[in-house]
Chains A and B, each alone.
Chain A
Amino acid sequence: MISSPTQFLQIQDLKLHFRALKGIVRAVDGVDFELATNRAVVILGESGCGKTSLSKALLRLLPRNVEKYEGKVYLQGSDVMAFDDEEFRHNVRWLGISLVPQAAMNSLNPVMKVGDQVAEPALIHLGLTKTEAMSLVQKMFQHVGVPRDFVDRYPFELSGGMRQRIALAMALVTSPSLIVLDEPTSALDLLTQANIMNVLKRIKRELGTSFILITHDIATSSELADEVAIMYAGQIVETGHAKDFFPAPLHPYSQMLMASVPRLRSDSDPMFITGQPPSLLNPPKGCRFAARCPFRMEKCSEEPPVIQKDHRKVKCWLYS
């Protein structure tokens, strides 16, 4: 199971549990996956499956009520989980991994000009002077398609799409090797979504950045994704190359998830999955999807193995 960290990003058995009133919420419960340089992985899953918690675990943005935070994360060969908080802040945040948080357009400081806002990470991490930082900011604005003179605007003066681009510019300003995008296109209209996806593709091509794209918007994500990881109840149940995955998902959950996407020019109704995802407070033993799975077997009450199939991995008894 433990392999040498040769990949650009390697996550092994990452866990993030929270304390809540009713017990322990296992939001991220043993996530494994790998990512190569200049690749984009899309993490798909329904709401509440732990996608955002995974992004927080990666950047160690922990709330106060953390019960358990463990696992191995190797970024370009270094074990970032071993860093103390200050090392992590200096070396990993924004130099290694930067984040476009969920609803990023609302994550701008309302009393700061967006130019100053975008310059902040550069001032903190690159040790630039204010003038140098501002010229870098203008370059970044150009990258994401925001007019240069917008640096003097306040967030409330800009549209949602503009603010989303600004958040993206902020993530890019220190040229990190990996950007985590948490639902970068939700709450945007289709044209803006397409626009942002194009910006991301161009950045990937021009700057060689890797992406972790967290979303439940399967259609949009397929634009950018090289790889797909399906998350269910705090675990990754399937990973694989996008070109293999989208035509033929392996895991029953993946299949049903793909079937729920409405299709153009088809008479069939979009499918939905009966039942609720299990509570992360007290996940069932064995396969967590078993209760909703049409292919349920007796074996499913035991922890399913991770099956390697070509370049794909799937966590299901069906393929054993």
Chain B
Amino acid sequence: MNTLRASVQRLLDYPSAVLGMLVVLLLVFTAIYAMIKIPYSEAIRMWRGGEEVWYQNPKFAPPAWINLFARSKFSESFSVRTSDGTMEKVAEPADENTTTYTMTYNFDFQYDMYPQEMILYVTSEFKEKQPFISIEWLTPDERKIRIANSAIGQEFTYRFSQDEKLKTRLKSKDVIPVLFSLPEENKPLKGKYQLLVTGTTFEAGSNINVEFVFHGQVYGLAGTDHARRDLVVPLLWGAPVALAFGLIASLGTAILTLIISALGAWYGGWVDELIQRITEINLILPFLSILILIGTFYSRSIWVILGATIALSIFSGAIKSYRATFVQLKESMYIEAARAYGASSSRIVFLYLIPRMIPLLIPGLVLSVPSFVFLEAGLAVLGLGDPVLPTWGKMIDDANRNGALFRGYYYWILEPTVLLMITGLGFAMLGFALDRIFNPKLRGL
């Protein structure tokens, strides 16, 4: 315990180690936050969800913060609805059957780019007589544009850009720019706009609710992908998945390799022989090809791939280098003394031999975490990513498949890549410092 505390104390002497620890801690907290904020089942539902989950988001929208760097500002996406009060709704009964609902939304438009689309989702409750709505648009220069009038069913969706009647009336194929600019001018008009929806029901007990969805150019903290999904989900959930994969794979591999090579070196004979031959065979097996085969024919579940990764990494070259040290340790006087005083083989292997290797193990262990994280991402890019889990690798894969780079959606690839790089950097800085602490020969060279 004291030794551990002393090691941590010495770790604090290295600025890189402190930085590395901060990064790793940050990742751990992100992972915990992600799992609390978006529970597993919810994350899967969101990630696997289609239009019905993500209709509010535009496709391929970069994150909103790119406006900080852009000279002409992109319009931000939002959605408002009367059901939760974000959109104003006033009910005005005309007689016992007829009620008029006035639903308005005012917003300040201060951007240099037109939005992509505006959609109105109307839901109504009635028995026989269909309600009626009319939609109007008020611009900052106080023009009032009639958009549409319609009798509606229980669900009614109105897409501004696809209404042929509106196109004819506004004499334009592209109605959104017309709604957002002065007549005869081709640049967005900044100012306060108002959407006015008037609905009338003709039965007692009827009701109307609307949801106004505004697809701007940019969305949220991380942007969206081809399926309108908020990329915050895979970015957040990528952290626990990457950490779990990296830590389990690196711990599992390192510990099993150490134990197996210690057992081989201690028992010698056919045990050692068998372990060495398995290692030699394993060294020439094509690791990636086998993973691709497993992914293609058996399962792409991250746990299966993790198991296969560990299984294929146990009998690695490290077995040989550990063995070299164990064979030397095994012949040392204190091990012979331990045999003499009747220590059992398991006691010698687990209490005397293996602990001698721990100082060598820890830096390597920390350093191998990012390589397994990268492996997971690499496998996803090869199309072997878990089909269910949102991960960083999966995000890069999606971006790659949808031509993110040549279509200019660089954010889509950069976000997970930067997180991967930070992860690698954090563990590397920590690992190198640990190496210097546990291997004093490396200090001050």
Contacts and interface: CB of A to CB of B under 8 A. Distances in A.
- Majority SS at the chain B contact face: helix
Contacts of B342: 89-90, 93-95, 121, 124-125
Interface in A106-128: 106-111, 120-121, 124-125
A115 B356 CA distance: 18
A57 interface: no
A124 B344 contact: yes
Interface string A65-98: 0000000000000000000000001100111001
Nearest to B355: A111
Contact of A109 (B269, B339, B352): B352
Interface residues of B, number: 17
B347 A106 contact: no
Interface string A118-160: 0011001100000000000000000000000000000000000
A120 B347 CA distance: 10
Contacts of B352: 109
A178 to B, nearest CB: 13
A265 interface: no
Interface string B330-341: 000110111111
Nearest to A106: B333
Interface string A162-206: 000001001000000000000000000000000000000000000
Contacts of A125: 342
Nearest to A103: B333
B340 A108 contact: no
Interface string B250-284: 00000000000000000011000000000000000
A191 B333 CA distance: 25
Contacts of B338: 109, 120
B343 interface: yes
A196 B439 CA distance: 38
B333 A107 contact: yes
A93 B344 contact: no
Contact of A99 (B268, B340, B355, B356): B340
B337 A107 contact: yes
Contacts, number: 54
Contacts of A108: 334, 337
Nearest to A108: B334
Contacts of B336: 61, 101, 107
A101 B333 contact: yes
Contact of A101 (B269, B340, B347, B356): B340
A93 B334 contact: no
Contacts of A89: 342, 344
Candidate in B336, B337, B356 with the most chain A CB atoms within 10 angstroms: B337
Contacts of A95: 342
A120 B341 contact: yes
A263 interface: no
A99 B344 CA distance: 16
Nearest to A105: B333
B334 A109 contact: yes
Contact of A94 (B334, B341, B356): B341
Nearest to B3: A111
A98 to B, nearest CB: 7
A171 to B, nearest CB: 8
Nearest to B343: A124
B334 A98 contact: no
A64 interface: yes
A229 interface: no
Contacts of A99: 337, 340-341
A224 B103 CA distance: 110
A111 B356 contact: yes
A64 B268 contact: yes
A106 B331 CA distance: 13
A28 interface: no
Given A64-B268, A109-B338, A109-B352, A120 B333 contact: no
Nearest to B334: A109
B380 to A, nearest CB: 42
Given A107-B334, A111-B355, A124-B347, A170 B341 contact: yes
A59 interface: yes
Contacts of B347: 124
Contacts of A124: 341-344, 347
Candidate in B268, B341, B342, B356 with the most chain A CB atoms within 10 angstroms: B341
A307 B281 CA distance: 63
Contact of A121 (B333, B334, B341, B355): B341
A196 to B, nearest CB: 18
A185 B352 CA distance: 27
A94 B338 CA distance: 11
B343 A120 contact: yes
A106 B333 CA distance: 7
Given A109-B352, A111-B355, A101 B344 contact: no
Nearest to A89: B342
Contact of B341 (A64, A93, A103, A106): A93
Contacts of A167: 337
A167 B340 CA distance: 12
A14 B340 CA distance: 19
B339 A61 contact: yes
Nearest to B359: A111
Contacts of A120: 338, 341, 343
A62 B339 CA distance: 10
Interface string A47-65: 0000000000001010010
Contacts of A106: 333
A98 B343 CA distance: 12
Nearest to B356: A111
B365 to A, nearest CB: 19
Contacts of B334: 107-110
B128 to A, nearest CB: 85
A98 B342 CA distance: 9
Interface string B163-204: 000000000000000000000000000000000000000000
B268 A101 contact: no
In the A-B complex, list the 7 residue pairs whose CB atoms are closest, starting with the nearest.
A93-B342, A107-B333, A107-B337, A121-B341, A109-B334, A99-B340, A94-B341
30 contacts: A59-B340, A61-B340, A89-B342, A93-B340, A94-B341, A94-B342, A98-B340, A98-B341, A99-B340, A101-B333, A101-B336, A101-B340, A103-B333, A104-B337, A107-B337, A108-B337, A109-B338, A109-B352, A110-B334, A120-B338, A120-B341, A120-B343, A121-B341, A121-B342, A124-B341, A124-B342, A124-B344, A124-B347, A170-B337, A170-B341
Given A101-B336, A109-B334, A120-B343, 18 more contacts: A59-B340, A61-B339, A61-B340, A64-B268, A93-B342, A94-B340, A101-B333, A101-B337, A103-B333, A104-B337, A107-B336, A108-B337, A109-B352, A121-B342, A124-B341, A124-B344, A167-B337, A170-B337
Interface of A: 59, 61, 64, 89-90, 93-95, 98-99, 101, 103-104, 106-111, 120-121, 124-125, 167, 170
